Chain A
Amino acid sequence: MSTIKLTVNGEARTVEVEPSTPLLYVLRNDLDLRGPRFGCGLGQCGACTVLIKGEAVRSCVRAVSTVQGAEITTLEGLARDGVLHPLQQAWIDEQVPQCGFCQNGQILTAKALLDRNPTPTDAEIREGMSRTLCRCMTYYRIQAAIKRAATALQSTRSGNEEVRR
């Protein structure tokens, strides 16, 4: 067991675990953050996704010792001041989830995608999301929600630019 220091959703957290423990189990079992979920433990499905330094990372195959000091964001940390992130709102507006088990990974992968490319084409959305699996097959609505959120984020940005002018 080692003392591991993490920064999760803006808070400093300390846990006593084996350094090789996958981040997923620390988040879920030690820090009670249940957004990331176990789907495969192989980095294949994306249900365990978290954001680390803005990148979508599969926490089931990332040793906790390797992410010390990095800013980790989970689904629970996406809202700001009680206001849902535009992606989360788009997920509600489009009524995306069926069971919802994978949607943590879908939303956070989409977040990283839009941060990288605020105006993705349909093909870029398909490609960027293609490794994040959903067995309810909500893909069609997810893609619609990403486009909706991209539009909302664009109008927020242009609004901010007007204010700055």
Chain B
Amino acid sequence: MSAPSRRDFLKTSGMLVVGIGAASVTGADGPTFAAVQGTGAAQSAGPYPDVDFRQLDSWIVVRADNTATFYVGKTDLGQGTGTAFRQIMADELDIAYDKTSCVMGSTDITVDQGGSGGSDALQTDGWPMRRVAAEARRVLLEMASSRLGVPVAGLVVAEGVVSGAADPSKRVTYGELIGGKRFNITLTGRNVDATTGVAPIKTVQQLKNVGQSPQRYDIPPKVDGTAKWAVDVKLPGMLHARNVKPPLAGATLVGIDESSVRGIPGFVKVVSKGNYVAVVCEREEQAIRAARQLKVDWRKPATAPFPASDGLFTYMRGATPTSSATPVVVGDPDAARAAAARVVEADYDVPFQGHTALGPAHATADPTNDQLTIYSNDMKSYGLRNGVARFLNMPRDRVRVVWMEGPQAYGRTAADDAGFEAAFLAKELGRPVRVQWMRQEETAWDTKGPAYAVKMRGALDAQGNLVAIEYDACAADHNHLGYNEFDTVLIAQLTGQRKAEPARGRASYPSDMYAVPNRRMAGRVVPLPLVWETPLRTGNLRDPDGPQVTFASESFIDELAAAAKADPVEFRLRLLTASTEDDSGFRRARSIACIKAAAEKFGWDARPSPRARGAGDILTGRGIAYAYRSQTVVAEIAEVEVNRKTGHVWVKRLVSAHDCGLVVNPEGLRRTLECGMLHSLSRALHEEVRFDTERVTSVDWISHPTLTHADAPASIDIVIVNGDPNPNRPDLPHYGAGETVCKPMLAAVANAIFDATGVRLRRVPFRDARVLAALKAAGV
């Protein structure tokens, strides 16, 4: 079977994961969220071959009751992409939005679109979704033409009902045409992103649902308690496992005293291989107790795995690089600097920051029928499936991943440790196994955004024009993890099945459109002493390097503006308008539009920073920063209150102007942007992975604080910008959203603190003690 047949759909759509309850299957809203999420989760023996993206039936099922289900190879991390997919596909198919549903990310019933990542859901994957829905409409119109005896050109479609333009009494529904049958239409395209039929897609002006804001279908079950999550999976005979991690980074397992846990009720087994250790029990609380109680001897590594976090940046600056990028040089920065009226230099540091998902890593694997089904919230479920098959040396078509809701993790599940562990343990035990990490384990051992130490240098002429800028980044990103690779996930490292060569990692460059005649951008990657089996594993944390890089580049632009005694908005606009060179996405025009829109919404009064300092305890100021990611542009302004007595920073107001082209669901976009900004604000104010020379010491919400309700701004304004020179163009693309908004916040807050206090913070995060020390040092 290459595509989900209707028969299979009907067979499975009413069946939820065994043991996690029941839900109605269809209602006025089409199949309910809960039912759809459980689709495909019923126990079937397999095999599970790849779903053929070149078959229309793989993407769309239309039922006799004139409802449609879209099958897409993406996952929704809580940003409403499923709702957006329904909107764009309903538009192209010409069916009412509320008669549609969406199934996502389960490897045996949806095409492999790679799951989620890179903010590409609409930017990349939206296009084949639109084309296949348009193709289904074309096929249905041809069927209607035969049925009604009216040429296609003489037919009109509205909400899944085809009728004669001249004789509306001639009518037939999509359900009457196809319900109970397959399309049997072969699509073309060299890969899934290029999938297409022969039908053209609609113009922007023809889209009806796009631009509307239907409420997200996944929200009601998330607030009434009926949503089914990957953590909720409960299977007959299921066991519970907990890991026992090395207490010191780089420690080697010497021995296990199993008698220390044998007396625990429900104890089943200690599983160990290499330095990987897990305990398995009948009940969850038993496994937790056993993992705490198990006596394990570990040998401390001969050398320290890493420097203490207090000395990290000194270490990084002095470390021998493992790789260096070829510098990008424009003009002659050295000559320009030598001739400049003023040279400004500054160093910026961003520490390791964790994903620290609210729910630790988890998965359940079922080895029944000599296959493996993994119930997982992995954003890249297809990669997990491929990785597990290789890790366990199983045929790919004997492994499937059923994607379910999970805690937002901003890239954490791109290396889905728990999924591999559950699969490994289920195979060892021959029974379904549920694995969940503990909080301390997750915060210490999850994947980390790489630390950056950046040196910036700029040269101003006598008129305050920026004539040269130099960016030199050092990133602690050696051995950056891949996507669910069978030889780089943590269990592969701990069991000694790791790859020979670590990944190079990267030191990224800033994204801006500033026209500076002389420019140098350089980057190098440095390693920590312990390369493998380390809790300081770098992975993709929501725009993997953007917040770090933009903190340096956009703080520095502000420093240059201050040195030139120029208004920070005006200084940026001058740099943007100094060139008319653009690219195919009109990024320059859209950058200018976003900065202007943000300044206007904020009510920005043009003046240099810092402002004249007030006399009271609370100092206020504002700062701007801007960046783009791929084709999406954002400018952000933060207004801060800094308490000079305590060092506490409250970001009172945020304004963001964001251009991601065609917006599918404006209200959904607003919330995604609000939350993305606040995540980055958390990174600006609170987040830092701390460690001594033996282990990570940031292990819970006390030792690794996060943004709280108390930090939330009093107001957030989002301006949705369409800065395209031809805003009404019929082919306006839908660019990505989600990650771009994370990039400028660190710099915007630092710039606002400078505006308020005259003190420049070049080290993240801006916790009270650090800010207070900086204020005191400056005599504020």
Contact = CB atoms under 8 A, between A and B. Distances in A.
A, B bound: yes
Interface of A: 1, 17-18, 21-22, 25, 28-29, 32-35, 37-42, 44-45, 47, 74-76, 78-79, 84, 88, 91-92, 95-104, 107, 122, 125-127, 129-143
Contact of B712 (A17, A18, A95, A143): A143
B711 A139 contact: yes
Nearest to B702: A44
B223 A25 contact: no
A25 B227 CA distance: 18
- Tell me which of B223, B228, B681, B709 has the highest count of chain A C-beta atoms within 10 A of its own C-beta: B223
Given A40-B701, A100-B219, A100-B227, A136 B712 contact: no
B605 interface: no
A92 B221 CA distance: 10
A126 B357 CA distance: 22
Given A25-B285, A126-B712, A136 B359 contact: no
A138 B227 contact: no
Interface residues of B, number: 62
B678 interface: yes
Nearest to B220: A92
A41 B438 contact: yes
Q: Which 8 A-B pairs have the closest CB atoms?
A: A99-B78, A137-B678, A100-B222, A98-B78, A99-B408, A101-B407, A139-B712, A35-B225
Contacts of A33: 225
Contacts of A88: 223-224
A44 B439 CA distance: 10
Given A75-B224, A104-B225, A137-B682, A99 B716 contact: no
B245 interface: no
Interface string B246-275: 000000000000000000010000000000
Contacts of A131: 708
B225 A101 contact: no
Contact of B283 (A25, A38, A47, A103): A25
Contacts of A84: 223-224
Contacts of A74: 225
Contact of A95 (B216, B700, B709, B710): B216
B231 interface: yes
Given A33-B225, A41-B288, A137-B674, 6 more contacts: A1-B265, A98-B79, A100-B223, A101-B358, A132-B709, A139-B708
Given A92-B215, A92-B220, A98 B702 contact: no
A95 B708 contact: no
B706 A79 contact: no
A99 B407 contact: yes
A42 B710 CA distance: 21
B407 A140 contact: no
A21 B266 CA distance: 13
Contacts of B438: 41
A135 B216 contact: no
A140 B219 contact: no
Interface stretch (B323-331, B476-484, B625-633, B665-673): B665-673
A101 B229 contact: yes
Contacts of B360: 38-39
B405 A100 contact: yes
A61 to B, nearest CB: 12
A104 B222 CA distance: 8
B714 interface: yes
B750 to A, nearest CB: 19
B701 A133 contact: yes
A120 to B, nearest CB: 12
Contacts of B701: 40, 42, 44-45, 133
B234 interface: yes
A18 B709 contact: no
10 contacts: A29-B283, A32-B20, A37-B229, A39-B439, A95-B671, A98-B408, A98-B671, A126-B710, A139-B709, A143-B709
Contact of A141 (B357, B671, B700): B671
A33 B228 CA distance: 11
A83 B664 CA distance: 31
Given A1-B265, A95-B216, A100-B218, A79 B709 contact: no
Contact of A135 (B19, B285, B358, B681): B358
Contacts of B20: 32, 34
B406 A99 contact: yes
Contacts of B19: 32
Contacts of B674: 137, 140-141
B700 A42 contact: yes
Contacts of A130: 708-710
Given A18-B285, A39-B359, A99 B405 contact: yes
A97 B436 CA distance: 23
A21 B712 CA distance: 35
A135 B408 contact: yes
A134 to B, nearest CB: 7
Contacts of A132: 709
B171 to A, nearest CB: 35
A122 B219 contact: no
A42 B668 contact: no
Contacts of A138: 671, 675
A97 B714 contact: no
B16 to A, nearest CB: 12
Interface string B344-375: 00000000000011111000000000000000
Contacts of A47: 358-359
A41 B439 contact: yes
Nearest to A98: B78
A137 B679 contact: yes
Contacts of A125: 709
A158 B623 CA distance: 45
B678 A140 contact: yes
A137 B700 CA distance: 17
Nearest to A102: B358
B608 interface: no
Contact of A126 (B231, B359, B709): B709
Contact of A136 (B231, B265, B439, B679): B679
Contacts of A129: 709
Contacts of A40: 439, 700-701
B193 interface: no
- Tell me which of B224, B283, B406 has the highest count of chain A C-beta atoms within 10 A of its own C-beta: B224
Given A98-B79, A107-B223, A38 B436 contact: yes
A96 B679 CA distance: 15
A92 B33 CA distance: 15
B408 A139 contact: no
Contacts of B357: 135
Contact of A137 (B218, B227, B284, B675): B675
Given A41-B288, A136-B408, A97 B223 contact: yes
A142 B667 contact: no
A78 to B, nearest CB: 8
Contact of B706 (A98, A126, A135, A142): A135
A79 to B, nearest CB: 6
A32 B223 contact: no
Contacts of B204: none
B231 A37 contact: yes
A78 B78 CA distance: 23
B359 A38 contact: yes
Nearest to A41: B439
Nearest to B707: A137
Contacts of A95: 215-216, 219, 667-668, 671
Interface string B479-496: 000000000000000000
A92 B219 contact: yes
Contacts of A127: 710
A47 B228 CA distance: 15
B21 interface: yes
B285 A22 contact: yes
B733 interface: no
